[in-house]
Structure 1
Amino acid sequence: LSSLFEPGSLAAMAVPSLAGVVLAMIVCTVLGVVIERLAYKPLRQAPSLAVLITAIGVSYFLQNSALLLWGSEPRIFTSVVGSGSIQLFDGQLTITYTSIVTMLTCVVIMVVLTLFTSGTKMGKAMRACSEDKGAAMLMGIDVNRTISMTFAIGSALAAIAGALLCSTYPTLMPTTGSLPGIRAFTAAVFGGIGSIPGAMLGGILLGLIETFTKSYITTNLYDAVVFGVLIVVLLVKPTGLLGKQIREKV
Structure 2
Amino acid sequence: MGFAHEFWQLTVDGATIGSLYAVIALGYTLVYGVLTLINFAHSEVFMLGAFGGLFAARALVSGGPTPSGPASVALVAVGLGVGAASGGLAAFALERGAYRPLRRRGAPRLAYLISAIGASLFAYNLAGKEFGRQSVPVPDLFTNGTVIGVLGAEISTQALVIFGVAAVMLVLVDRVVTVTRLGQAIRAVAQDADTASLMGVDVERVIVATFVIGGLLAGAGGFLYAMTFNASYTMGFVPGIKAFTAAVLGGIGNVRGAVVGGLLLGLVESYGGYVFQASYKDVIAFLVLVGVLLVRPSGLMGVRQLRAA
Alignment of 1:98-177 (within 5 A): 98-169=158-229, 171-177=230-236
User: Aligned in 2, Cα 1:41/1:86: closer, same or farther, shift over 3 Å?
Assistant: same
In 2, Cα distance between the equivalents of 1:160 and 1:198?
20
Deviations, residues 29-50 of structure 1 (Å, cap 9, x unaligned): 2232122112110122333332
8 Å Cα contact 1:63/1:175 also seen in 2: yes
Higher helix proportion (structure 1 or 2)? 2
Counterpart of 1:242 in structure 2 is: 301
Residues 298, 304 of structure 2: 8 Å contact kept: yes
For 1:112 and 1:105, locate their aligned partners in 2 and report how far apart those are by CA, in whole Å. 11
Q: How many residue pairs get matched?
A: 238
Q: CA deviation at 1:81?
A: 5.3
Alpha-carbon distance between aligned partners in 1 of 2:150 and 2:199, rounded to the nearest angstrom? 57
Aligned partner of 1:21 in structure 2 is: 80
CA offsets, 1:14-33, max 9 Å, x none? 52332232122223322321
RCO higher in 1 or 2 (8 Å CA, sep ≥ 6)? 2
Matched AA of 2:249: F
Residues 1:195 and 2:247 aligned together: no
Query: How far apart in 2 are the matches of 1:234 and 1:105?
Result: 30
Q: Gaps spanning 5+ residues in structure 2: where?
A: 1-65
Per-residue Cα deviation, 1:59-94 (whole angstroms, up to 9, x for no partner): 11111111111221221222555422235268x422
Alpha carbons of structure 1 residues 108 and 60: separation in structure 2 relative to 1, 3 Å: same
Q: Hey, what does 1:54 align to over in structure 2?
A: 115
What residue number does 2:137 align with?
Answer: 76
Q: Does residue 219 of the first structure (1) align with residue 267 of the second (2)?
A: no
CA distance in 2: counterparts of 1:176 and 1:34, whole angstroms: 20
| Superposition deviation, residue 144 in structure 1 | 1.0
Q: Show CA shifts across 1:112-164 (max 9, x none).
A: 21221121221111122223322322222111111111111111111110111
**TM score, norm. by length of structure 1:** 0.84
Identity of aligned residues (%): 37
CA distance in 2, matches of 1:52, 1:81: 41
One-letter amino acid matched to 1:88: G
Deviation at 1:218, TM superposition (A): 2.3
Amino acid corresponding to residue 189 of structure 2 in structure 1: C
Q: Output the amino acid matched with 1:78.
A: P
Please report the TM-score for the alignment, with normalisation by the length of structure 2: 0.70
Using the alignment, how far apart are the partners of 1:214 and 1:20 within structure 2? 30
Judged with a 3 Å threshold, the aligned counterparts in structure 2 of structure 1 residues 185 and 82 are, in CA distance, closer, same or farther, namely farther
> Of the two, which has the highest radius of gyration?
1
Q: CA RMSD in A?
A: 2.4
